[in-house]
Amino acid sequence: MNKRIAVLLTVFNRRETTLTCLESLFSGSVPEGYSIEVYLTDDGCTDGTADAVRERFPDVRIVAGDGSLYWNRGMIAAWNEAAKSDPEFYLWLNDDTTLLSDAIGNLIRTAEKNTGSIIVGTCHASDNPDRITYGGRDTNMKLIDPTDSEKTSRCKTFNGNIVLVPAEVYRKLGTLDPVFRHSLGDFDYGLRASESGIDSVVAPGFQGICDTHPNIAKWADSSKPFSERWRHFMSPTGANPFEFFRFRRRHSGLLPACMTFCSNFIHVLFPSIWQK
């Protein structure tokens, strides 16, 4: 019987991007003895994403959201549904990521050599195959070069673009923490794994393509009026100070959490200080 990989995605109004991601997933190779099942949270899409997915990829299991889940909680919804079938692996996949043809094979081969470890895939920019955009991160939160044999392949935490989680890790750590709505959940999961003695290993080479977002967030952009900065600051996709406080306190302690909390407020009030 094949070992099953439950692929988890959450999407919102990126119809063509989502379809491109799924096309790369289904057109790629899957190692012999393995099969994939896809669980996709449609977080209230209004651009026809869900219907397009049903038409082109009818085997995808769609989990309905209401637009309030965002990335982290949307991934949890997909994960909870996938867990009902008790697969051997869970593969996180961002819908703005295009998988390379042998990505799943590379992840599985790495997992077979590192039993019980989380396996992290690295992405490069679409216009520069040498520029790392997302992947495993070291203790200083720097991205780890998957092609550098001089560096250890283990990472402290990771971006959630391409991450393979064995069932045994899920049984120990559970899903992502719902206290985080959009961001931070992936970093938190990696750090919780490290703190629990679970290794996170960067698969060799690149596994996907994904471009980074703009350098200056709207909440930190001095060209935006304060009311707009504040709205984005407090939103799930901004830098919500209470979620950042929870994250920093959990992994760095109370004093660093308080410093980050105050710094974020100063940042949104006086963004030009950071842009000089």
* 92 and 175 fall within a common domain: yes
Domain extent, residue 237, equals 218-273
Name the pairing type of β-strands 154-155 and 162-166: unpaired
Q: Structural domain tally of the chain?
A: 2
Number of C-beta neighbours around residue 37 at 10 A: 16
> Do 20 and 129 belong together in one domain?
yes
Domain boundary among the residues 209, 228, 254 is at 209
How confident is the prediction along the chain (276 residues), in pLDDT tens digits per residue? 899 999 999 999 999 999 999 999 999 999 999 999 999 999 999 999 999 999 999 999 999 999 999 999 999 999 999 999 999 999 999 999 999 999 999 999 999 999 999 999 999 999 999 999 999 999 999 999 999 755 558 999 999 999 999 999 999 999 999 999 999 999 999 999 999 999 999 999 999 999 997 667 888 788 888 889 888 888 888 888 899 999 999 999 999 999 988 988 888 888 876 554
Is 251 in the same domain as 190? no
Do residues 186 and 268 both lie within one domain?
no
Same domain as 235, residue 189: no
The secondary element (H helix, E strand) that includes residue 62 is strand 61-65
The Cα–Cα gap between 83 and 96 comes to: 24
Please check whether residues 110 and 201 belong to one and the same domain: yes
Where does a domain end: 188, 209, 230? 209
Q: Do 100 and 35 fall into the same domain?
A: yes
Please tell me whether residues 50 and 161 are part of one structural domain.
yes
The CATH number of residue 70's host domain is: 3.90.550.60
Kindly state the helix (H) or strand (E) to which residue 91 belongs, with its residue range. strand 89-93
